[in-house]
Amino acid sequence: MARTASSVAVSDARAAGVSDRSTAANLLSSLRPRQWTKNLLVFAGLLFGAADPANGRLLGVGPIVQAVEAFAIFCALSGIVYLVNDITDRQSDRLHPLKARRPIASGALPVSTAIAFAGVLGALALGAAATLGGRFLAVSAAYLGLQLLYSGPLKHVVILDVLTISIGFVLRAVAGAFAVNVDISHWLLVCTILLALFISLAKRRHELVLLADGAPTHRPILGEYSPYLLDQMIAVVTASTLIAYIFYTISPETELKFGTHWLGLTIPFPIYGIFRYLYLVHRRDGGGSPTDMLIMDRGLLLCVVFWAAAVALILYTP
């Protein structure tokens, strides 16, 4: 009884932390702005595609504005997915040491309000997507539909759960290329899905370690995994990601496309970045929030910044 009373007290304290905020603040929190950095992937088409002489190396204002608009649209779409996910998972989230603080799980944000807001935001986002062309609208709708399916049945199917998340990253990259009307390499899409798989599997591992024996209670699909199994999967995906990126940078197709053979100089950055991520997962209990790891870990953040700068320098230097 003492333990139950203590749990109720902690839950009440968590709820009080978000119930003091306005409805607008709780809605914004539920959209998870800290996670919007994942949508930076829509700029991959602008970075790599516009460097292709066939598309024109010099970027005008138009493509940049279109890429920014695409980024904003995907921030809205991903926010909708987070809202729906919090609605469907609100019961299990209340048993989680961290997710219980979310506005919907804590009861600070009514479910009816969240559903209404998600519907309005979805209509506005897809309406804005239509202004960037039919292909971009189709990919945006596919992304939203797939992620909503993940919030429903797909999150309960072993392996398909992490594959669904990873495909969502590929759709971001494809949408970004469609937004600025450039082609994006198939190799780059392969690297994207492999890297997303790596991050998703690392997140599953973190959840298992954090929740221990209570993991299946919080999310039944976690009972289908084990740290050993996930470590085996991560090892395969890690090697595949690095090999795919190496082949992409040194392939004759890439050299011909961009008119440079120096892109291979960027290979050390993904090697360090992936190894650094594994270090944080295994030695610093990281992996629960990839976005937080990127922002908070200086080594990982500098690696990504230097990689992007090196790619831009190599592709756009005459």
Summarize pLDDT for 127-142 with one digit per residue, the tens. Answer: 999 999 999 999 999 9
**Residue 125 scores a pLDDT above 70:** yes
Give the pLDDT of residue 257.
83
Give the pLDDT of residue 58.
44
- Alpha-carbon span 183 to 207, nearest angstrom: 37
- Alpha-carbon span 154 to 138, nearest angstrom: 21
For residues 238 and 4, the model is more confident at 238
Give the pLDDT of residue 2.
38
Domain edges within the chain? 23-184, 185-318
Give the pLDDT of residue 139.
97
**Residue 17 scores a pLDDT above 60:** no
Give the pLDDT of residue 182.
85
Give the pLDDT of residue 15.
46
What CATH number does the domain located at 23-184 have?
A: 1.10.357.140
Q: How much is the pTM?
A: 0.82
* pLDDT one-digit tens code per residue, 83-104: 999 998 888 888 777 788 889 9
The whole-number average pLDDT for the span 202-217 is: 81
